Amino acid sequence: MFVGENPIHINAEKGSIAPLVLMPGDPLRAKYIVENFLDDAIAEDFQITNKNVANLRNMLGYTGFYKGVRVTVMASGMGMPSMGIYAWELFHYFDVEKIIRIGTCGAVKPTVRVPELILATSAYSESNFAYTFSDYKEHITYPSNSLNETIIETAEELNYKLHIGDITTMDVFGPYIDYDRVLNRIPKELDILGEEMEAFALFHIASYFKKEASCILTAVDSKFSNVVLSGEERQNSLNEMITLALESIIK
């Protein structure tokens, strides 16, 4: 395996990334979080202070403080290959200890309404990502139990409604296919609440490095509803999920 001394995809200096990381998919959501939730963030393009922590390929990363605790917000991009690259480099090169993915998903159970929150207890995928990465042949990966427990306790403290259960990670964007066909192939013992595109890879990479990872999702569309959040709402109206992740990761 070829591993160079420096990361290829994150152009950050050593020490500039905190051990606690929130990972939205969208780089502009990372920017939104820093502008609205963090203090003393390093972010040149909206003139908070000096410079981006990372901006290669416009995959923006910023470091600041939340309630006095140093936190980095780093985008992952879309899909498992992109998540795999950034999670791997964060764990390997920057000694990150915890990552909470904060993303959007499609709800596939009528009990989950737009824009309610889901905490993943497992991610099922038909992808070969984990097999290619490390010969892992199973189709389920798991988050950190202890980090999930912290998120559940924090949601209770904040009085946030939180659906807790299985999700599925797809290689394609669910609304563009007949994903009932895929859902019908998932083992019946799994109670799938939502579908997204990154968590399976994040959980596997974290497990490989013996680090912690969790995934909180906001349902932005549902097969049981005509309510769909717009692109602008997806970027700017996910404050409950962001607050839950920040309050949890600093504990």
Stated as kind and residue range, the H or E segment containing 152 is helix 145-158
CA-CA distance, 190 to 80, in Å (whole number)?
21
| C-beta separation of 7 from 51 below 8 A | no
Contacts of 92 (CB under 8 A, 6+ apart): 3, 7, 209
Of the residues 39, 95, 180, 221, only one is catalytic, namely 221
From the CA atom positions of the chain, what is the Rg in Å? 17
Contacts of 222 (CB under 8 A, 6+ apart): 106, 107, 108, 110, 112, 113, 114
| C-beta separation of 35 from 73 below 8 A | no
Active site residue 221: yes
Active site residue ranges: 221
